[in-house]
Amino acid sequence: MLDLLKGPVLTVQDFFILTGTAVRNIFRSPHYSDDIVLQMDAIGVGSMPIVVLTGFFSGAVMALQMSRALAQYGQVGRTGMIVAISLVRELGPDLTALMVAGRTSSGIASELGSMKVTEQIDAMRALGTDPIQKLVTPRLVAAAVMLPLLTIIADFVGIFAGWVISVFFLNVTTRQYWSSAWRALVWNDVAQGLVKPFVFAFVVALIGCFYGLRTTGGTQGVGRSTTQAMVTASVLIFVLTYFITQIFLYASSAQM
Amino acid sequence: MADPAPPILRFENVSVVFDDVTALSKVSFEARQGESRVILGEAGSGKTVLLKAALGLVKPTSGKVYVFGRDLTTMRERELFEIRSKIGMLFQESALFDSLTIEENVAYPLQNQKSISCPPDQVRPRVEEALKFVELGGTLAKFPSELSGGMRRRAAIARTVVTNPPLTLYDSPTAGLDPITAYTIMELLIKARDVAQTTTLLVTYRYQDGNLVANFRYNSEQGRLERAHNGDLGNPRTTFMALRQGSLIFEGDQHSLEASADPYVNKFVKKHS
pLDDT tens for A9-61 read 999 999 999 999 999 999 988 889 999 999 999 999 999 999 999 999 999 99
Q: Taking the CB of residue A33, how many other CB atoms lie within 10 A of it?
A: 10
Nearest CA in chain B to A119: B95
Is the pLDDT assigned to residue B273 strictly greater than 50?
Answer: no
Same domain (yes/no): B81, B194: yes
Is the pLDDT assigned to residue B179 strictly greater than 80?
Answer: yes
pLDDT, tens only, A153-182: 999 999 999 999 999 988 888 998 899 888
Question: Cβ(B54)–Cβ(B87) under 8 Å?
Answer: yes
In a domain, B2, yes or no: no
Answer whether B95 sits within 8 Å of A122, measured CB to CB: yes
Question: What percentage of residues in chain B have a pLDDT greater than 70?
Answer: 94
Same domain (yes/no): B176, B204: yes
Higher pLDDT, B175 or A98: A98
Is the pLDDT assigned to residue B2 strictly greater than 70?
Answer: no
Residue B231: pLDDT band by 50, 70, 90 thresholds?
low
| Residue range A74-82: mean pLDDT, rounded | 86
Answer whether B77 sits within 8 Å of A130, measured CB to CB: yes
Please state the three-class secondary structure of B11-40 as a single string. Answer: EEEEEEEECCEEEEEEEEEEECCCCEEEEE
Answer whether A120 sits within 8 Å of B114, measured CB to CB: no
Domain closes at, from B163, B194, B220: B163
Coarse DSSP helix, strand, coil percentages of chain A, rounded to the nearest 5 percent: 90, 0, 10
Is the pLDDT assigned to residue B246 strictly greater than 50?
Answer: yes
Q: How far apart are CA B190 and CA B194, in angstroms?
A: 6
Question: Cβ(B138)–Cβ(B102) under 8 Å?
Answer: no
In a domain, A11, yes or no: no
Secondary structure element (H or E) that encloses residue A55, with its range: helix A46-72
Is the CB of A129 inside 8 Å of chain B's CB atoms? yes
Which letter, b or e, does each residue of B55-80 get, where b requires 16 or more Cβ atoms within 10 Å of its Cβ?
Answer: bbbbebeebebbbeeeebbebeeeeb
Question: ipTM above 0.90?
Answer: no
Is the CB of A127 inside 8 Å of chain B's CB atoms? yes
pLDDT, tens only, B90-145: 998 889 999 999 999 999 998 888 777 788 888 888 999 889 888 888 888 899 99
Secondary structure element (H or E) that encloses residue A208, with its range: helix A187-213
Range of the domain at B119: 94-163
The residues near B104 (Cβ < 8 Å, ≥ 6 apart) are: B97
Amino acid (one-letter) located at A238: F
Count of domains observed in chain A = 1
Q: Taking the CB of residue B213, how many other CB atoms lie within 10 A of it?
A: 25
Pairing of strands B70-71, B62-67: antiparallel
Q: How far apart are CA B171 and CA A168, in angstroms?
A: 69
pLDDT at B1: 42
Count of domains observed in chain B = 2
Residue B232: pLDDT band by 50, 70, 90 thresholds?
low
Put residue A66 in one of left, alpha, beta given phi > 0 → left and psi -120 to 50 → alpha. alpha
Range of the domain at A164: 21-255
pLDDT at B220: 78
